[in-house]
Amino acid sequence: MDDKTRVNKVMEIFKKLKELNLGIENFEEFNHFRQICNEFIRNGNATNGRIKVFGTKRIICYNFDEKNVDCSLKYDETI
C-alpha cells in the first residue's frame, strides 16, 4: 500500500471518530493514537494495539498492515 492510500485510510478513521461526537479528541490517549497513525503513514510498518481512553469508557483498537487499516472504538465500563 502506498503512502497516499495510507493517508486516505487513516483520514477515514479520523472522520468516523469525529462523527461519533464523543469528545475523545481532547484526550492525551487520542493524541498518542494520532502519533501512531502518523508513523504508519510515514513508514508503512505494520502495527496493532489497544489504547484505553481513561474517563470515556472507550478503547481504541487498531490494526494497520500492508493490506488493512482497521480501527474500532470499543466500550468498556471499567475504564
Given a contact cutoff of 8 angstroms between Cβ atoms, the answer to whether 54 and 76 are in contact is: no
CA distance 61 to 67: 17
Q: How confident is the model at residue 9 (pLDDT cuts 50, 70, 90)?
A: very high
List pLDDT tens digits, range 12-70.
Answer: 999 998 888 877 778 899 999 999 999 999 999 999 999 999 988 999 999 999 999 99
CA distance 5 to 41: 9
Give this prediction's pTM: 0.89
CA distance 7 to 4: 5
CA distance 52 to 15: 20
